[in-house]
Amino acid sequence: MSGAVGGGTLPAMTTLPPPAEELRLIDTELRHLDARRAVLLRRREWLVHTLRAAAAQQPAPGPGHPPPAWPVGAGAGTAARRPEAAEPSVQNVLLLLGGILLTIAAAAFTLVSWGHLGVAGRALVLGAVTVAALGAPVVLLRRGLGSTAEAVAGLGLALTVLDAYALREAAFAGTDGLGYAAAASAVLAGTWTAYGLGAGVPAPPARDGAGRTGGTGRVVLRLPLPLAVAVAQLPLLLWALAAGAGPYTLTAALLVTAAADTAVALRAALPSVRVVASVGACALGAGGVLSAGWLCWGAATPGSAGRAAALLALAAAIALAGARFDPRRAVATGSALVGGLCLVAGAGGVLRASVPGEWTVPGCLACAVAMSAVVRTRLPEPVRHGLAGASLAVQGLAVLWTVPLVAGTLVGPVAWVGRIWSGAPSGTRVAVLAGAPWHPYAATVPLVLAAVAGVSAVAGRGASWRPAAAVGSLVLGWAAAFVLPAVLALPYAVGLVAQGALTVAALAFAEGARRRCVEAAGRSASHLAAVVLALVTSLHLALLSLASQPATVGVLAALTVLFGAASLLRGRGLAVFTAPASLGYAAALACAVGASAGWQPQYTALLVLVVPAAGAVVAARTGGAAATVAVEATAAVGLLLASVLAVADPPMLALVLSLGGVIAAGTALRPERRPSGYLAAGLFLLAAWTRLAAWDVTVPEAYTLPVTAPALVVGYLRRRRDPAVSSWTAYGAGLAVTLLPSLLAAWDDRHWLRPLLLGTAALAVTLVGARHRLRAPLVLGGSVLALVALHELAPYAAQIVGALPRWVLPALAGLLLLALGATYEQRLRDARRVREVFGRFR
């Protein structure tokens, strides 16, 4: 510190040491820094040597040997240039190519140049080269050249294969090729295993900068053991083929080899060995399972099926053992799933060969249900989940087996639409099939569906997926009851009663589920599913009843009453579904009654009109907006059906439209349904036009003007009282009553007076609308005026077009397209100029 700072200036500062003492302290710190630098330099030298000598085989760093925190050769402040190919990659490629070339050379020597040497020369050359190739990796490992050692070891292993080939050519030329290959593969697998376990050297100890030793281990070759496992897949299969074994023995060989692979995959320490063993276990195990399954389900006798089932049981044991000891949760669950499926497949194959065909699927289902009991055992969780998944898969397959019968039963009665009232069939099965073939094993379908429904209901208790299980149980139970009358071949009338009872039961379940849901203040899908099932069953029942006239009338009447009563239950929670269904069946009943009475369609339309009228009354008393809309939509469909039935008789159609207008007007009396008045006005207008057309009236203005005049006066007075009323409400109906019928009459009138008067009136209406800014007169008057002008100018336009040469129209079209193209190009040019101008802005 400068001597200018005196003691009075810094009274609290510690007194500095004398210069001699301070010099001694600085020298001491420098010596410590030099020692630390030496330690770091030695550490750097060791790291560089390790990374360059054995990048692939470097031992694990011991304590006090952290990995380098910076790239080798890159100092602080220098940027290392990244090469395109890393040094280990180039090294491995070179070693791999060298090993391949040496192997090819050795094979060429063995196959081509073999005959030029004697027996002693052959043995000496191959033996010396093989021993040298197998011994060199040990020396290379001691020198830290791990990758080179692996390449030379691969060459040595390839030479052992050539040795085996050469040995057969020299000494065992007359032996069976498959048998010799089996023995050679077994010997090679054992030899390579012993070589892989024995060819290793102790890992060199690692020293840090202070001279401490850390980290010990053993460096081994990574190539021999995976190759040994791969070759070990062959002996058993080759021996079985050499012995001429049958399919059962070959399948057993596959499964035993897969078992050995499973054991190796579970116990091996090297990851490469585990991968190879796992691939072998999966491949051979899959082949063995497929072969055993084919043998089991294709067996003609119980004995053959039993032997194949034993093979499937072996496969199941292998899979379950793997699931028990495999630490990977997903793999263990999948293995247990496969094991469970193998057990069920074996049992099903034995049942198929021992019992009638219709009991095969129930037997498999029983095995699956029994397997689902393991969920409550103390087995490891992955095993329990896998077996439960296998049980669920078998149950799903059993349900799929029943789908053809359920679908055929559901869709079959549609065929009666084309032959209504052709006569009651002899039984329910005939009515359901309607000529289609019957399911060969239908006797046990209801049993399978009921069993799966029961299992689903029991398994779903207290589970998080209980709602889904409840819906599934409901659907499956309904399907079992749905197909039961056809399976039992009940009489036709009894089958109809059974389907009706099923409909009632579904509605009762839906109401009960809805009430429970309301009490629990929640939502449930069960009552919705039950309502849908009730509707489906009722539709099926209605289609079944089409075979007989009395049955059709009786069933439709019963369904109308049933769904109507369901709509009146307390709370009316089902009315949104049941009320429209009741109206729909009522409309069908009206048509059936009219047809049975021999009425013509236009008179039946009057009976169908009861449905829209009832719908209007029910909609006013139905609670809930959704139910009201559904009922009104059904009533509208009923009105449309009545109009279609009466369309062939214009006077009756006019009556139907008028009655529909009355119904719509009554609906418009409700405050929330005021817009229905527009529908009523439209229906009355259509009825009037239809009546005029039916009377062959040629001067409709005589009937429409007396309506138009008071309507316009009423509209004018209403707008004076309430200016917010739109012109469509005030004047739209009154103007349309006269303008539209007159327009239709003018298009068929060849005289000039009507078009002239109508055009003049339309022009006046248009001008009034434009003057007072009224949309309805402007739109209606302008539209009618344009159509009248088009009607009057059409003949002259046709004459002009006919008088022009044929090339004029294409020429005009071409000129138009050219003009459009030029305009488009000009717009693009202007846009480019604007972009360039803005681009010059800064």
Per-residue pLDDT reduced to its tens digit, 394-437 = 999 999 999 999 999 999 899 888 888 888 888 888 888 877 77
> Tokens standing for 715?
């509209």
Bridge partners of residue 219, in order along the sequence: 201
Instruction: Report the pLDDT value the prediction gives residue 45, as an integer from 0 to 100.
Output: 75
Dist CA 823 CA 830 (whole Å): 11
Dist CA 768 CA 663 (whole Å): 35
Q: Report the share of the chain in percent with pLDDT over 70.
A: 80
Dist CA 313 CA 321 (whole Å): 12
Instruction: Residue 154: count other Cβ atoms within 10 Å of its Cβ.
Output: 22
Long-range contacts of 431-438 (CB under 8 A, 24+ apart): 431/492, 431/495, 431/544, 431/547, 432/408, 432/486, 432/495, 432/544, 433/408, 433/486, 436/408, 436/412
- Which of 361-370, 599-608, 719-728, 823-832 bottoms out in mean pLDDT, i.e. has the lowest? 823-832
Dist CA 563 CA 509 (whole Å): 14
* 219: helix, strand or coil: strand
Instruction: Report the pLDDT value the prediction gives residue 700, as an integer from 0 to 100.
Output: 77
Per-residue pLDDT reduced to its tens digit, 793-817 = 777 666 666 666 655 666 666 666 6
Dist CA 315 CA 299 (whole Å): 18
DSSP secondary structure letters along 72-98: TT--TT-PPPPPSS-HHHHHHHHHHHH
Instruction: Report the pLDDT value the prediction gives residue 90, as an integer from 0 to 100.
Output: 47
- Best CA proximity match to 374, nearest among 394, 390, 351, 350: 390
Bridge partners of residue 200, in order along the sequence: 220
* Angle (deg, nearest 10), helices 610-621 and 625-646: 170
- Which of 75-89, 289-303, 549-563 bottoms out in mean pLDDT, i.e. has the lowest? 75-89
> Do 733 and 763 contact (CB within 8 A), yes or no?
no
The model's pTM = 0.69
Between 359 and 148, residue with greater pLDDT: 359
Dist CA 632 CA 580 (whole Å): 8
Largest Cα separation within the chain, whole Å, is 138
Rounding to the nearest 10 degrees, give the CA dihedral for residues 318, 324, 327, 333. Answer: 80
Dist CA 635 CA 539 (whole Å): 19
pLDDT, averaged across the chain: 81
Please, is 822 exposed, middle or buried when counting C-beta atoms within 10 Å of its C-beta (0-12, 13-18, 19+)? Answer: exposed
Dist CA 591 CA 594 (whole Å): 5
**How many CA atoms within 13 Å lie on the side-chain side of 27?**
6
Dist CA 156 CA 754 (whole Å): 112
Please report where in the chains the tokens 């559901």 appear, as a residue.
410
Please report where in the chains the tokens 């360059």 appear, as a residue.
52
